[in-house]
Amino acid sequence: MHTIREADNGAGVTGAVVLAAGKGTRMKTEQPKVVHELLRLPMLWYVHRALGAVVDIDRQWTVVGYGRERVRQACIGYGGHFVHQKRQLGTGHAVAAAWPDVRRAGCEWCLVVNGDAPLIRAEALSGLVQSCRENSASLGFLSIELDEPDGYGRVIRRTDGTVRAVVEDKDLSPAQRESGLNEVNAGVYCLHVPSMEPYLNQLSQNNAQGEYYITELVDLGVNNGELVVASNAGRDSSLLGVNSPAELVACESLLQKRINSELLNSGVVLRNSDQVRISPLAGIQPGAEITGPSEIYGASTVASQAWISSHTWLQDAHIGPKARVLEFSHLEQARVEAGCQVGPYARLRPGTELKAGAKVGNFVELKKAVLDQGAKANHLSYIGDAHVGAEANIGAGTITCNYDGKAKHQTVIGPKAFIGSNTALVAPVRIGKESLVGAGSTISKDVPDNTLAVTRAAQRHVPRRKLRGGDEEN
């Protein structure tokens, strides 16, 4: 029976259990569903982030099972514990797997959240816990209204509006299916631990899927006089679940819209914003301008007055103030300081650093390369494992030959050096400051400061009649 409790004001330990052990058959891949990515972060990351922002959660467990090593690996930054559900016998069974830990931690309240709800917000979670505490409910859960409720458990209410049951899609009677029930269970529950504990052992597999459903707790609670409440969040899209690739990309679009409208409101100019995809980890300063289609992932940062043109892809890249990244550029783990210009069509690979005012033009690839202030590589070059001094100029077609088949070697170019076009710099090699390398040279020895180095063969002129014994070819 429903035990009478004093309405408490946050006393007692609150735990949270994330259900993430299922395969996600409807995704039709071998990959566990919860590691599928939205804006290049695993679905589960979003659920953990929302839970992490709920202040009154003391302990967290994530139930893993199918592909559990991959799921664990995907939980970057997650500070909670894992529980192994050895066989995936249903959501009720998953909660039961975590229950001994929940008990041992002395939890009075326990939130249970489906791991496939990446849009969930911390406010919705704390609101549910709060309302269950205030009403001394034994079980509370969130519901939403959907025009197309297919696949979801339907909330059945009595004529007085109180909750009667949750019936899974596959268990609906033809009459229930016809009746246009559109309030569905969102898969977010708050359990009063001592009240609901007896019912966990009473779950049956007596349903269309032969599984232990967490939703059967609603029937059991109601039948035993417990207070069971559903908070109807209306048409709140942040409670949508992901079961199929179509739902994954639909949720990703909603997430993208949410992030972009926050950025627009904060003073970032996003042109063609439907086609700008920005990670929730990225930091974009007010006054930055980004034109879509563009993708900015990971912990990238874009400073004020920086300019990111269309078809740009950034991953963990840092763009300084007033820097311009022009069309079709691809930057990964690269740092671009104030006032630099990059692209169009530049590729900055991990370890690239452009100091203030440096310039990298079209079809230039850099890797582990530092360009000091004002250095330039404007056309068609590969600069890898290199340090280029301030205001040095790298001519078109310059290649650092950094790899000898076994190891990588460094190229060091002094300040104000001038590397002529179509030069091969065979590393390890140093070019002195203010030195010149003649176009078409292959440099394998160090060049001192203030020196011209040329290795190309001298140009010869031979009159045509002297070729092939004087017979000119046609």
> What residues act catalytically?
379
Is 213 a residue that touches ligand UD1 (CB under 6 A)?
yes
140 binds ligand UD1 (CB under 6 A): no
The residue type found at 332 is: E
Report what 85 binds from ligand UD1, Ca ion, none; CB cut-off 5-8 Å by kind.
ligand UD1
Please report, as a single letter, which amino acid is at residue 176: Q
- Distance of closest approach, residue 150 Cβ to Ca ion, in angstroms: 12
248 vs 38: CA distance, rounded Å: 7
> Of 15, 22, 42, 357, which lies in the binding site for ligand UD1, with binding defined by CB under 6 A?
22
Nearer to ligand UD1, 203 or 412 (CB): 203
Gyration radius from the chain CA atoms: 31
C-alpha to C-alpha distances, 17 to 20, 63, 105, 468, nearest whole angstrom? 9, 7, 12, 86
Separation between Cα atoms, residue 302 and residue 306, nearest integer Å: 6
| CA atoms of 337 and 358, how far apart (whole Å) | 8
Dihedral of alpha carbons 202, 207, 210, 216, sign: negative
Q: Is 68 in the site for ligand UD1 (CB under 6 A)?
A: no
Compare residues 67 and 420 and give the one whose CB is closer to ligand UD1.
Answer: 67
Q: Which of 67, 115, 320, 397 is in the footprint of ligand UD1 by CB under 6 A?
A: 115
CB of 154 to ligand UD1, least distance (A): 8
Q: Kindly report the number of other CB atoms within 10 A of residue 178's CB atom.
A: 9
| Closest by CA position to 118, among listed 51, 23, 216 | 51
Residue 155 within binding range of ligand UD1, rule CB under 6 A:
no
Is 182 a binder of ligand UD1 (CB under 6 A)?
A: no
Q: Give the span between the Cα atoms of 377 and 181, in whole angstroms.
A: 64
Which residues, in sequence order, are CB contacts of 226 under 8 Å at separation 6+? 1, 2, 138, 139, 195, 196
Helices (H) and strands (E) in the chain, counts: 8, 37
What's the rounded Cα separation, in Å, for the pair 215 and 218? Answer: 6
Is 187 among the residues that bind ligand UD1 (CB under 6 A)?
yes
- For residue 373, what are its two tokens? 């202030």
Closest CA to 59 of 126, 13, 122, 8: 13
Q: Could you say which of ligand UD1, Ca ion, none residue 19 binds, taking C-beta under 5 to 8 angstroms by partner kind?
A: ligand UD1
Nearest to Ca ion of 116, 226 (CB atom): 116
Smaller CB separation from ligand UD1, 137 or 217? 217
Whose CA is closest to 94, among 243, 236, 212? 212
In whole angstroms, what is the distance from residue 107 CA to residue 13 CA? 5
Please identify which residue in 54, 63, 96, 427 interacts with ligand UD1, judged by CB under 6 A: 63
Choice from 21, 35, 54, 282 touching ligand UD1 (CB under 6 A): 21
Cβ at position 32, least distance to Ca ion in Å: 13
Instruction: Give 91 or 393: the residue with its C-beta nearer to ligand UD1.
Output: 91
Residue 20 contacts which entry, ligand UD1, Ca ion, none (Cβ below 5-8 A, type-dependent): ligand UD1
Task: Find the shortest distance in angstroms from Cβ 185 to ligand UD1.
Answer: 4
Site for ligand UD1 contains 67 (CB under 6 A)? no
By Cβ distance, which residue is nearest to ligand UD1? Answer: 153
Applying CB under 6 A, the residues found at the interface with ligand UD1 are 19-22, 34, 63, 85, 88-91, 93-94, 114-116, 152-153, 166, 168, 184-187, 213-215, 241, 243
